[in-house]
């Protein structure tokens, strides 16, 4: 009974290890305004709804990456109100004044200082955010802040009625972990919800609102001034407003499904350019406008078509790149498939362990594992040396496969080396190599130990595998011992293979505990079998 209880505990431990598997970024079901595109000089980010429409998830694409996007950590909780990119980082703002900063190579976000209630009272709504002009990480946030005030003159019929509630459009700045108010935008926001865009360069802050027609204002030297939008078609809707090389760039979407780009410099508009490819205007369905953001010195666009995410960049004169729009998340299907295979692999391993542990016909063990007094378990250093000898050829083969299939840049600094390491470990080649190693290496160990009692490494170090009482292990025991290596290696590699042998009497790994096996010195004499005892007694007689 004690043995069955121990088995059940082991099963629960293994289940907790195999249950911790990640989910691929995948393709989202969202379309249109359900996703956001945010970019800056070094990278562009997409913010998508999380699984089931709750929370959000992130993916980023570096300006140097010409092929694919990369997921940034798991799904997050919270409702994104606005976001802004600063170089290679992304700052996400929430309605309550909280904010998180993300980096492309970190799975977890870094919380920043929450806005004080004096600047961000309850009921405040976030409209837009952008990086402040210059090369720093200072942020500008445009909010609608509720205020209550009583009119100077009130009609007699209004006596006893509560004062009307009003809103004000406010510009805030966050820098060096401090919040401060920059200015109040002229006019009173009346539309709900109000759409707005925000951009800034070294000289001015630009605010574009729709109430209901687009209104563009600029804040320069402490004063507000209106900027006419005469270059825009009457039916155009703003998609994005950004500053590229100190030039204000406005992207709009008209009723004909065209994206138009206009530039504002030297206090005048420099014409309207439709996005074109091969000399012809590039069009989108009227209900599927692309999201537009900055990526370096170009405008980046992301949209959905036929259940695919398409990505393209264009010059400020509206010319798309020579290549066709790329399937931005094509890699996600492959990655999701590989991770599904990985999950299935671990479930198969776990199921095989459970079946072998409770295989019918097994005798109930009433005494603990033991070895004869003449046999001592092998030292841990010898076992580690034998493991290195056995695993080295498989690791070399896996390394060659990964290096020949994963694209990395030449690294000359520690940061570049770490960036290459992150890129390799997130590549498809690394996942394939890992699954191959976790399949072939345990199979090799099982075949060698069943046929010869030891692997090549154990033979060189003069070790061998034995079962309870020092006898030769059965096929079932060897299968349990080696199948569990996959979970030990990826589960807690410093605990299962190293800590378990130090804490157990006969220096057994977790797999040895499950299979009732251990490793001993090959020179140790095994106990005599019943046949050997009978033969010895006959000779003595």
Instruction: For residue range 253-267, list pLDDT tens digits in order.
Output: 988 899 999 999 888
pLDDT at residue 338, rounded to an integer = 67
Sheet holding 165-175, edge to edge: 125-131, 139-148, 165-175, 178-184
Residue 357 dihedral angles phi and psi, to the nearest 5°: -65, -35
pLDDT at residue 19, rounded to an integer = 41
pLDDT band for 396, please (50, 70, 90 cuts).
very high
pLDDT band for 394, please (50, 70, 90 cuts).
very high
Instruction: Measure the CA–CA gap between 64 and 50, rounded to whole angstroms.
Output: 27
**Nearest C-alpha neighbor of 141 from the set 124, 150, 128:** 128
Q: Residue 414 above 80 pLDDT?
A: no
Angle at 174 between CA 173 and CA 177, to 5 degrees: 155
pLDDT at residue 25, rounded to an integer = 43
pLDDT at residue 162, rounded to an integer = 45
Q: Residue 28 above 50 pLDDT?
A: no
Domain range summary for the chain, segments of one domain joined by +: 2-17+333-530, 28-112, 228-328
pLDDT at residue 374, rounded to an integer = 85
Q: Residue 165 above 70 pLDDT?
A: no
Looking at every residue in the chain, the average pLDDT score rounds to 80
Most confidently predicted of 40-44, 134-138, 415-419, 498-502: 40-44
For residue 184, CA distances in Å to 92, 119, 144, 211, 386 come to 22, 12, 10, 17, 72
Of the ranges 36-40, 66-70, 185-189, 276-280, which one carries the lowest mean pLDDT score? Answer: 66-70
Instruction: Measure the CA–CA gap between 118 and 102, rounded to whole angstroms.
Output: 26
pLDDT band for 328, please (50, 70, 90 cuts).
confident
pLDDT at residue 423, rounded to an integer = 66
Q: Residue 276 above 50 pLDDT?
A: yes
pLDDT digits (tens, 9 = 90+) for 192-236: 557 889 999 988 999 998 766 788 999 998 999 999 886 555 568
How many residues make up the chain in this entry? 541
* Mean local confidence (pLDDT), 139-168: 63
What is the CATH T-level fold of the domain 28-112, as seen in this structure? Answer: Thrombin, subunit H (2.40.10)
pLDDT at residue 24, rounded to an integer = 41
């Amino acid at each position: 009974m004690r043995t069955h209880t121990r088995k059940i505990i082991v099963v629960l431990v293994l289940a907790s290890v195999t249950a911790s598997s990640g989910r691929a970024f995948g393709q989202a079901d969202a379309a249109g305004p359900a996703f956001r595109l945010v970019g800056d000089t070094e990278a562009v980010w997409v913010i998508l709804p999380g699984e089931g429409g709750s929370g959000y998830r992130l993916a980023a694409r570096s300006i140097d990456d010409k092929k694919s996007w990369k997921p940034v950590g798991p799904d997050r909780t919270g409702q994104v109100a606005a976001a802004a990119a600063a170089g290679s980082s992304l700052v996400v703002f929430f309605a309550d004044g909280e904010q998180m900063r993300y980096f492309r190579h970190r799975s977890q976000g870094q919380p920043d200082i929450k806005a004080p209630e004096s600047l961000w009272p309850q009921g405040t709504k976030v409209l837009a955010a952008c990086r402040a002009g210059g090369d720093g990480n200072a942020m500008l946030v445009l909010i609608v802040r509720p205020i209550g005030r009583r009119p100077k003159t009130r009609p007699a019929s209004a006596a006893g009625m509560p004062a009307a509630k009003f809103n004000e459009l406010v510009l805030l700045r966050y820098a060096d972990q401090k919040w401060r108010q920059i200015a109040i935008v002229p006019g009173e926001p009346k539309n709900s919800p109000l759409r707005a865009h925000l951009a800034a360069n070294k000289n001015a802050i630009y605010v574009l609102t729709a109430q209901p027609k687009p209104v563009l204002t600029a804040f320069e030297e402490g004063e507000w001034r209106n900027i006419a939008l005469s270059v825009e078609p009457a039916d155009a809707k703003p998609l994005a407003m950004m500053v590229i090389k100190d030039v204000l760039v406005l992207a709009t979407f008209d009723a004909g499904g065209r994206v138009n780009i206009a530039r504002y410099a030297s206090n005048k508009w420099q014409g309207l350019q439709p996005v074109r490819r091969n000399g012809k205007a590039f069009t989108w369905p009227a209900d599927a406008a692309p999201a537009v953001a900055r990526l370096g010195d170009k405008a980046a666009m992301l949209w959905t078509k036929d259940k695919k995410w398409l990505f393209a960049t264009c010059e400020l004169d509206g010319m798309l790149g020579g290549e066709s729009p790329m399937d931005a998340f094509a890699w996600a299907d492959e990655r999701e498939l590989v991770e599904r295979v990985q999950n299935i692999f671990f479930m198969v391993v776990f199921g095989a362990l459970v079946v072998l542990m409770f295989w019918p016909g097994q005798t109930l063990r009433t005494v603990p594992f033991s070895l004869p007094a003449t046999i001592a378990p092998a030292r841990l250093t010898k076992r580690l040396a034998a493991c290195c000898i056995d695993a080295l050829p498989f690791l070399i083969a896996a390394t060659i496969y990964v290096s020949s299939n994963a694209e990395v840049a030449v690294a000359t600094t520690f940061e570049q080396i770490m960036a290459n390491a992150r890129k390799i470990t997130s590549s498809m080649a690394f996942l394939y190599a890992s699954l191959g190693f976790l399949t072939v290496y345990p199979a090799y160990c099982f075949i060698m130990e069943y046929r010869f009692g030891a692997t090549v490494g154990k033979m060189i170090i003069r070790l061998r595998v034995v079962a309870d009482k020092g006898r030769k292990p059965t096929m079932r025991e060897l299968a349990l011992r080696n199948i569990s290596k996959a979970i030990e290696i990826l589960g807690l590699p410093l605990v299962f293979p190293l800590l378990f042998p130090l804490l157990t009497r006969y220096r057994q790994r977790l797999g040895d505990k499950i299979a009732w096996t251990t490793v001993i010195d090959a020179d140790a004499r095994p106990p005599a079998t019943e046949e050997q005892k009978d033969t010895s007694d006959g000779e003595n007689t």
